[in-house]
């Protein structure tokens, strides 16, 4: 599963346009599976709308670098917190067989992995404390910070925390 973001601008635009047309046609043309979920917690209520469709022929040339792709997905999340409503739309390329329940589970797992990595980078490496404001510098520092984290994740368990292991590995000044 690949989350389409700004780094795949043309591909993301093509997938967005495809789903926009499906919504416009009220899903009458094409095979698109749909699912809605609702959850609450952490002071918010979130509705998620999952859409999972076969990879259209017109998009295949743009996605030629990823072998085995079979489907595309869209997730629309509407979150209400403190009386304010926000909407987030995300797009995905997947090698999953067509099936919206499986797609929804994969998306939730994918988000969990991203959130977990962010937590490690923030808490262990202090990424949010970085004062690097130049985009290239910030990207390079983030890549540098993630490398030892990957190594520490592969290290057999010990009594040292990741933060202490980082100190032992010489990747911190403390």
The pair of structure tokens assigned to 35 is 């699912």
Which CATH homologous superfamily contains domain 2-97?
CAC2371-like domains (2.20.130.10)
Angstrom distance (rounded) from CA 136 to CA 19: 32
- Paired with 48 in beta bridges are 37, 77
What is the spatial distance between Cα 46 and Cα 124, in angstroms, rounded to a whole number?
Answer: 29
Query: Which tens digits make up the pLDDT trace of 31-82?
Result: 999 999 999 888 889 999 999 999 999 999 999 988 899 999 999 999 999 9
87-127 pLDDT, tens per residue? 999 999 999 999 999 999 999 874 544 444 444 444 555 55
The domain spans of the chain are 2-97
Rounded to whole angstroms, the Cα distance separating 121 from 130 reads 11
55 DSSP 8-state letter: P
Buried b (16+ CB within 10 A) or exposed e, 96-118: bebebeebbebbeebeeeeeeee
| Strand 44-54 relative to strand 2-4, pairing | unpaired
Tokens 């996605």 correspond to: 63
Q: Which of 47, 115, 122, 113 is nearest to 86 (CA)?
A: 47
């Amino acid at each position: 599963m690949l989350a389409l973001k700004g780094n795949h601008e043309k591909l993301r635009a093509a997938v967005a346009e495809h789903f926009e047309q499906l919504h416009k046609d009220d899903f009458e043309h094409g095979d698109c599976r749909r699912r809605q979920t609702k959850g609450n917690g952490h002071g918010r209520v979130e509705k998620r709308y999952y859409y999972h469709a076969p990879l259209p022929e017109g998009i295949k040339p743009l996605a030629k670098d990823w072998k085995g792709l079979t489907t595309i997905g869209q997730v629309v999340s509407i979150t209400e917190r403190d009386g304010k409503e926000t909407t987030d739309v995300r797009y995905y390329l997947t090698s999953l067989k067509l099936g919206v329940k499986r797609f929804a589970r994969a998306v939730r797992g994918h988000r969990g992995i991203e959130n977990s990595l962010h937590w490690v980078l923030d808490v262990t490496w202090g990424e949010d404390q970085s004062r690097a404001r130049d985009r290239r510098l910030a990207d390079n520092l983030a890549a540098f910070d993630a490398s030892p984290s990957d190594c520490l994740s592969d290290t057999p368990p010990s009594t040292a925390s990741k933060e202490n292991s980082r100190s032992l590995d010489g990747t911190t000044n403390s």
